[in-house]
Amino acid sequence: MISLAGRDILHGWGKFVFTGLGLGLLIGVTLTMAGVYRGMVDDAKVLLDNSGADLWVVQQDTLGPYAESSSVHDDVWRSIAAMEGVARTANITYLTMQVRLTGPGARDVRAMVVGVTPDGPGHPGQPVHLVAGRHLTRSHYEAVADVATGFALGDTIRVRRNEYTVVGLARRMVSSGGDPMVFIPLKDAQEAQFLKDNDAIVRQRARTAQNPALNRPGVPGLLDAVIASQSTNPYVNAVLVQLAPGYTPERVAEPIRRWQRLTVYTRAQMEEILIAKLIATSARQIAMFLVILAIVSAAIVAFIIYTLTLGKIREIAVLKLIGTRNRTIAAMILQQALGLGLIGFVVGKIAATFWAPAFPKYVLLETGDTVRALVAVVVICVLASVLAIRAALRVDPAEAIGG
């Protein structure tokens, strides 16, 4: 047998390659969109993995530290640590904000500031994947930053009113929103979450002092105590829990829920919250894009194949007149559509692989998505060639004889 489609493509390869290139860039965008979604899911999973926690203890009836604001008293961890099946606990705070790099080349970086107890590696909440420097060891004014922030060891950064020295750099430590993380000691972070500017503090003090209930003449020290309690922050966003070997998450979570009157999420539940709730809207946004891109790609393939076929009406009439089967003609058009799709797919895959690292947020090109895209391209090409095949089959062989 002879492949009419192949010969036609070889004959007019320029046309095919250029069309395939255009289609390929479109497919590349489609693959990248899927990669952006996968990257978001992966960021969420990495966030959970990196936290090193098996359970997240959060404020009652909230969705935890990532999806909703949650505050838990910073001494709760003690009673949790004493419960059966709990190996280690750690207080943690999260605050997404602008972090300022000071000194020459000063700039703002959007980052998720994480407050951790400087316990060293292995403890829940600590930065992992350190690529340079060391972990936090002091309780104040040190920071470990993700490399994506662009900070270098020894840089001085400003979080709220305090300055921190970057002592370590980590990799792949990002929030579920893709912002790089900056780890600072827990005490500083609690303050940063709460700290007001000086004027506000002065006004707050004056207001408290004017309140006769809080400033009783006969009770010395009351005002000081009230003011002290007003200007400290005894809360954290969550308590991370690591299980002792041999305990299932549910078995440990249940007593914490019952006795501490707190909400506890297991790893699976947390993942559900992040993926099904937090990034659900973004996912639907991307799905919309994918649908539109698929339709546009289909329209392009259909249009190109239809035009190419119309350009061959005369030849098709001759082929039919001399007795070529309809099947052969349909196969020729279908193979051309598939050929175009395959060129586009290869170009798209290469393009996506090349430009994915340049994206600011993580783009994860999964093999599964690539295979799905290939299947989609094949299906789209088959559908797109239907129009052209119908036109070709309607050609009257008598046209070849003419008038």
Partner 1 sequence: MSISERPLAGARSGEDLRSQHTHVAQSASKRAVGIHIDGLRKRYGSGDTAVDALKHVDMTVAPGEVVGLIGPSGSGKSTLLKCLGAVIEPSAGRMTLGGETIYDEGWKIRDLRALRRDRIGFVFQAPYLIPFLDVLDNVALLPMLAGRPNAEARQRALELLEALDVAHRSRAMPSQLSGGEQQRVAIARALVSRPPVILADEPTAPLDSERALGVIRILNRMAREFDTAIIVVTHDEKIIPTFRRIYHIRDGRTHEEAGEGRSIE
Site string for partner 1, 295-314 (x = CB under 8 A): -------------------x
Structure tokens at 266: 């297991």
Task: Please report the DSSP string for 147-162 in residue order.
Answer: GGG---TT-EEEETTE
Binding site for Mg ion (CB under 5 A): 403
Instruction: Find which of partner 1, Mg ion, none residue 397 binds, CB within 5 to 8 Å per kind.
Output: partner 1
Of 138-167, which residues contact partner 1 (CB under 8 A)?
A: none
Partner that binds at residue 401, options partner 1, Mg ion, none, CB closer than 5 to 8 Å by kind: partner 1
Q: Sign (positive/negative) of CA torsion 268, 273, 274, 279?
A: positive
50 and 172 Cβ atoms separated by less than 8 Å: yes
163, 271, 315, 366: which one contacts partner 1 (CB under 8 A)?
315
Using CA atoms, how far residue 22 sits from 2, 218, 254, 333, 379, in Å, is 28, 84, 56, 20, 19
**Nearer Cβ to Mg ion (323/403):** 403
Q: Give the nearer residue to partner 1 in terms of CB position, either 16 or 265.
A: 16
Residue 44's nearest CA partner among 286, 277, 287 is 277
- Please report which residue ranges of 127-221 form alpha helices under DSSP H: 186-194, 198-210
Which residue's CB comes closest to Mg ion? 403
- Picking from 341, 327, 320, the residue whose alpha carbon sits closest to that of residue 1 is 327
Which of partner 1, Mg ion, none lies near 2, with the C-beta cut-off 5 to 8 A by kind? partner 1
Looking at beta carbons only, is 22 or 397 nearer to Mg ion?
Answer: 397
Q: Rule CB under 8 A: is residue 129 a binding residue for partner 1?
A: no
400 binds partner 1 (CB under 8 A): yes
H helical segments located in 52-108: 64-67, 76-81
Does residue 401 touch partner 1 according to CB under 8 A? yes
**Choice from 11, 284, 372, 390 touching partner 1 (CB under 8 A):** 11
Instruction: Measure the CA–CA gap between 151 and 167, rounded to whole angstroms.
Output: 10
Task: Rank residues 7 and 251 by Cβ distance to partner 1 and give the closer one.
Answer: 7
Provide the binding-site residues for partner 1, judged by CB under 8 A. 1-2, 4, 7-8, 10-12, 314-315, 318-325, 328, 396-398, 400-403
